[in-house]
């Protein structure tokens, strides 16, 4: 396994391509307004009915916070605007499809298996292993980015969905512009993605925190009941099930840790898989990944900002998960310790299947083993994380934020 050390985290040495991207962004004026986003989405789809317009306030808050940040680069503003237009276009297509096919709202989504756990705690790998079992319905990244096809588009001559092609182009652009992304968080089109992406068209989830410095949005999101937005996500999942049905869904997102009430109100018969890991390792990995990505999104990287923000943010996730732990269904909840999962992936999967009441059949085992063989850990290299060197803090100081959680769950201490 190749070790990757980021020696220029705080003072990036930019590639020619990164410098070109920054120059291009500075030369473009991006109108970060709700009207501009909606106009661009309407022009893209040929539609103009967004459905209930309460989303405009949430979108407006996100855009205002972005526009008011002098540290955000022109490229960063462009990318955020592009994401908002994609979400707004999806909203138009979703609303139009539901108007034409109201029966979609009656589609059943029985007993999903939902992976809930800290970011960077193995949730992505676990959900991809489960999704390798073709009895499950899962959601690849390309489908999450554009859940409803544009009726004006046709597949290419070789039969490839244009949505997949756009996602692949985005992934290639990300790899070129931020070449260590693949080692830290793969975003290939067929990689199974988080269903909270489907809340994007309703403009309410914690995703803006992952692509921008958005404390105002965080406070708004945490202060409001997310149940309506979970209901919106469920409706979009019904659309995906309508297009390509399977018996049961497998889902995952760290956001669910702090939204167990809305999650279980939306999926009351779910099996819940809770992953656990040393929170300091999670902070170290998250802060490194996001500070690395900031080199083209912000005029100064400020690693200490990511250290402090994500120490607090991970703490909030864990506090909420402890507060709401009693909501988890007895008999349909399984806890997975990261170090045990890494030591015995198939044994962990067997426990998940047993809890969900599903047979881990010979065919499913073969499908999962084939996925494991094709996706060995660290095939894109392993980033070396270092809190002391890169963030100027002792691990013990960060760990003090998580005392209650570490006392409750016997996670193995990874960062000494």
Q: What CATH number is associated with residue 392? A: 3.40.50.300
Pairwise CA distance, residues 234 & 309, whole Å: 30
Residue 40 lies in a domain: no
pLDDT surpasses 80 at 379: no
Please tell me the predicted confidence (pLDDT) of residue 186.
Answer: 82
% the chain with pLDDT above 70: 99
Most confident of 156-160, 181-185, 250-254: 250-254
How many angstroms separate the CA atoms of 272 and 355, rounded?
Answer: 9
Q: How far apart (Å, rounded) are the C-alpha atoms in residues 52 and 220?
A: 19
In a domain, 85, yes or no: no
For the chain, give the percent of residues with pLDDT over 90: 89
The predicted pLDDT at position 356 comes to 98
What confidence score (pLDDT) does residue 227 get?
A: 98
pLDDT at 155: 79
In a domain, 410, yes or no: yes
Burial label for 371, CB within 10 Å (0-12, 13-18, 19+), is middle
pLDDT tier for residue 184 given thresholds of 50, 70 and 90 = confident
User: Do residues 115 and 251 touch, judged by C-beta distance below 8 A?
Assistant: yes
pLDDT score for 180? 85
Instruction: Give the DSSP letter of residue 203.
Output: T
CA–CA dist 170, 155 (Å, integer): 18
Q: Is 32 a member of any domain?
A: no
Question: What pLDDT was estimated at residue 199?
Answer: 98
Ramachandran area for residue 122 (φ above 0: left; ψ -120 to 50: alpha; else beta): left
Q: How far apart are CA 258 and CA 10, in angstroms?
A: 31
- Rounded Cα distance between 137 and 125, Å, is 16
Question: Could you tell me if residue 78 is inside a domain?
Answer: no
- For residue 380, pLDDT over 80 is answered with no
Backbone CA torsion sign across 117, 262, 290, 75: positive
User: Could you read off the pLDDT of 127-166 as tens digits, one per residue?
Assistant: 999 999 999 999 999 999 999 999 889 877 788 999 999 9
CA dist 266 → 80, 143, 231, 237 (Å): 29, 21, 6, 12
Cα–Cα distance, 155 to 45 (Å, whole number): 17
Q: Assess if residue 307 is contained within a domain.
A: yes
Q: Within a 10 A sphere around the Cβ of 73, how many other Cβ atoms?
A: 19
Give the pLDDT confidence score for residue 121 in this predicted structure.
85
Query: How would you write 268-326 as a 3-class SS string?
Result: CCCEEEEEECCHHHHHHHHHHHHHHHCCCCECCCCHHHHHHHHHHHHHHHHHHHHHCHH
Predicted pLDDT of residue 152: 86
- CA atoms of 288 and 294, how far apart (whole Å): 10
The 10s digit of each residue's pLDDT in 207-245 is: 999 999 999 999 999 999 999 999 999 999 999 999 999
How many residues in the chain? Answer: 416
Q: Per-residue pLDDT averaged across 304-331, rounded? A: 98
CA separation for the pair 213, 77 (Å, rounded): 12
Spatial separation of the C-alpha atoms in residues 106 and 88, rounded to whole Å = 24
Q: How far apart are CA 63 and CA 41, in angstroms?
A: 15
- Which residues span the domain enclosing 363? 1-15+113-138+250-416
| pLDDT over 80 at 384, yes or no | yes
pLDDT band at 116 (very low <50, low <70, confident <90, very high): very high
Number of domains in the chain: 1
- pLDDT averaged over the chain? 95
In a domain, 363, yes or no: yes
In a domain, 176, yes or no: no
């Amino acid at each position: 396994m190749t070790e990757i050390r980021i020696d220029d985290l705080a003072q990036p040495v930019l590639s020619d391509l990164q410098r070109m991207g920054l120059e291009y962004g500075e030369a473009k004026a991006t109108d970060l307004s709700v009207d501009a986003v909606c106009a661009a989405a309407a022009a893209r789809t040929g539609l103009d009915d967004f459905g209930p317009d309460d989303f405009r306030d949430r979108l407006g808050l996100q855009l205002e916070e972005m526009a008011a940040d002098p540290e955000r680069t022109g490229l960063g503003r462009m990318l955020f605007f592009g994401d908002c237009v994609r979400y707004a276009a999806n909203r138009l297509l979703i609303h139009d499809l539901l108007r034409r096919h109201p029966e979609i709202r009656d589609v059943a989504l029985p007993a999903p298996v939902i992976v809930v756990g800290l970011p960077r705690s193995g949730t992505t790998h676990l959900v991809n292993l489960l999704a390798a079992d073709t009895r499950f319905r899962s959601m690849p990244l390309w489908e999450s980015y554009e859940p409803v096809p544009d009726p004006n588009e046709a597949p290419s001559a070789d039969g490839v969905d244009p949505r997949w092609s756009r996602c692949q182009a985005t992934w290639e652009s990300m790899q070129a512009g931020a070449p260590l992304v693949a080692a830290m968080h793969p975003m290939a089109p067929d990689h199974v993605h988080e269903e909270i992406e489907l809340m994007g068209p309703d403009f309410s989830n914690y995703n803006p925190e992952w692509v921008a410095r958005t404390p105002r949005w965080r406070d708004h999101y945490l202060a409001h009941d997310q149940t309506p937005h979970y209901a919106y996500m469920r409706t979009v999942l019904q659309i995906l099930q309508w297009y390509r049905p399977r018996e049961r869904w497998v889902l995952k997102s760290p956001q669910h840790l702090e939204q167990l009430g809305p999650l279980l109100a939306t999926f009351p018969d779910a099996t819940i898989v809770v992953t656990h890991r040393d929170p300091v390792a999670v902070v170290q990995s998250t802060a490194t990944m996001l500070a690395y990505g900031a080199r083209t999104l912000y005029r100064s990287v400020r690693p200490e900002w990511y250290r402090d923000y994500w120490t607090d943010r991970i703490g909030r996730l864990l506090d909420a998960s402890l507060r709401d732990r009693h909501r988890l269904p007895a008999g349909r909840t399984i806890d997975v310790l990261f170090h045990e999962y890494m030591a015995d992936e198939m044994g962990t999967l067997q426990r998940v299947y047993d809890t969900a009441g599903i047979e881990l059949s010979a065919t499913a085992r073969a499908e999962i083993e084939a996925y494991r063989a094709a996706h060995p850990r660290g095939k894109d290299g392993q980033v070396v994380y270092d809190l002391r060197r890169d963030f100027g803090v002792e691990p013990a100081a960060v760990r003090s934020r998580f005392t209650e959680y570490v006392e409750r769950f016997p996670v193995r201490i990874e960062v000494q």
